[in-house]
Amino acid sequence: MEWQRRLGITRREFVTSSAATLAAGAWSRQTHASEQLSPGTAEQLAGAGPLRVIIDTDPGVDDAFALLLAMRSPELKIEGITAVAGNVPLDLTLPNALRMVEIAGRTDIPVAAGAKGPLVRRLVTAAYAHGENGLGGAVFPEPKIKPVSAPAAEFIRATVRGHPGELTLITVGPLTNVATALKMDSELAGMIRSIVMMGGSLSGGNITPAAEFNVYVDPEAARIVFQSGIPVTMVGLDVTRKTSLTDEHVRVLESAQNAVSQAAAKIARHAIDHNRERGFLVGPNMHDSLAIAAFLNRSLLKWKEYYVDVETAGELTAGETLGYSPTAGDLRRRPEAEKQAAANMAIRGSAPTLATTKTSPVLRDEFVPNCNVAIDVDSARFFELLIGRLSGK
């Protein structure tokens, strides 16, 4: 396929190289946080000025809310928005991103067109959830502004290199653009401050029993990101399932007389009606907005450190995110025993078959966390932030 040719990688080469990349990654940057972390990066560093971010997105109802929230958050300096195929094809996600920039009055933010499909797979979309236009059927005028000429992966690479160590990637779609940028530039991972991701789940999927949609669409790209050594914050279905949009939220948005709240209310009303037509008792979940909120204020959520990897070979489980932890499970250990368990916990692949003499692959010979995973959320406080900023109240 075209992406394999451009990246120069095969499935076998990827599995081999990812373990080496992980071992050589910048693990020293990964902090050892407790389950309940202190307030988040943006809140802690507010006195240092706005924080540089790129938002990688596939709008998408909840992506649209996430973009509007980000653009209404003075803590952020949005260096760019990069569009990727996911919820709907790129020829819809890109203009949807441009529309949100225009609605928010933030045409100073560059928007770049990204991947039209996953690295090695055919694109699977979620038009069934987001409507054929990606915005739940809510119709807006064609955008007047145009994307920048640079492809998304090159835009990410150049922007990170322009601000080494300063830039966080907030990813709320499939990770194709980010993985492509990392493959283009072997030094790039060490220059990215962190990744805050809406994706994955440790409690089952939403497109298959195993997989969350963003990771399912491009599991190979997700695995590159998790194996990169970049500190990852994973805001997955474990918490986003607790963020259903309601009629009351829509009424608050409708009552505010500004362009952002009116656009958000229009999208929300169509999305809630679309859900009801499909038989759901609740409105859509604000998956992607929660990732933005997690970066703005980490204390909205509860966290736990895991080593997270992605299943790429399973016939029924491709895209599943697996969280390894020596402290997970029903049995508790003494603190000194927990440390010993971590030191002796191998991260293993599948058992060998009778037809081969190979042994089970050991991806890591001891537990080293690569990800802070959100495990609970204060939904009321989250919606106070989201609806409050979109409505201007």
The rounded distance, in Å, linking the Cα atoms of 113 and 111 is 7
The Cα-based distances of 161 to 22, 157, 188, 189 in angstroms read: 21, 6, 7, 10
CA 261 to chain centre: 24
Phi, psi for 233 (deg, rounded to 5)? -110, 120
- Please give the single-letter amino acid code of residue 258: N
The rounded distance, in Å, linking the Cα atoms of 297 and 382 is 9
The rounded distance, in Å, linking the Cα atoms of 393 and 245 is 18
CA 337 to chain centre: 34
Q: Are 319 and 216 in contact (CB under 8 A)?
A: yes
The rounded distance, in Å, linking the Cα atoms of 28 and 18 is 18
Give catalytic status of residue 287 as yes or no.
Answer: yes
The rounded distance, in Å, linking the Cα atoms of 293 and 348 is 34
Which of 130, 249, 274, 287 is flagged as catalytic?
287
214: DSSP letter? H
Which residues are marked as active site? 287
